[in-house]
Amino acid sequence: MVTNSHSRPTASDWHSAKGLLPNARQIEKGLHGALIPGAKQNSDHIAVVYDKGDTPPEITIEKVSGSVHTVRANGVPIAIVASANGPAPNVNDVLLVERST
C-alpha cells in the first residue's frame, strides 16, 4: 500500500494489510513472574505462574549485592528485588500459581 499526503487508504487497503494485529490470541506457556500488590502491607508479593500438570518450580533466591536479590524459578530469573529498609525476600513468600491451559 502506497500513500502520499494527498491520498487516504481505502477500506480495501486496510483489509489487505498484514502483520498489524494477530489473528488470535496465543496462549502463553512456561514460567512467568508477576507482582501482586500487597493490600495490608507496604510491599508487593512475587508470584510465579507455571503450566497445569507441570511440577511446581523450585524457587531460589540469590543475593546480588547489598539489599538486591534475584528470585529464580527452576534457575530462570523471575524478579529482581531491591529493598532499602525491608527484609530480604524469602522462598516461602513466593506464591506459586498453576495456570490452566
pLDDT, tens digit, 9 for 90 and up, residues 42-60:
667 889 999 999 999 999 9
* Angstrom distance (rounded) from CA 68 to CA 18: 44
Residue-wise pLDDT for 71-93, tens only, equals 999 999 999 988 877 788 899 98
Which H or E run contains 60?
A: strand 59-65
Res 41: pLDDT: 64
Average pLDDT on 2-22 reads 51
Report the predicted TM-score, pTM, of the whole model to 2 decimal places. Answer: 0.66
* Contact between residue 70 and residue 60 where contact means Cβ atoms under 8 Å apart: no
Residue 91 is given by DSSP the state: G
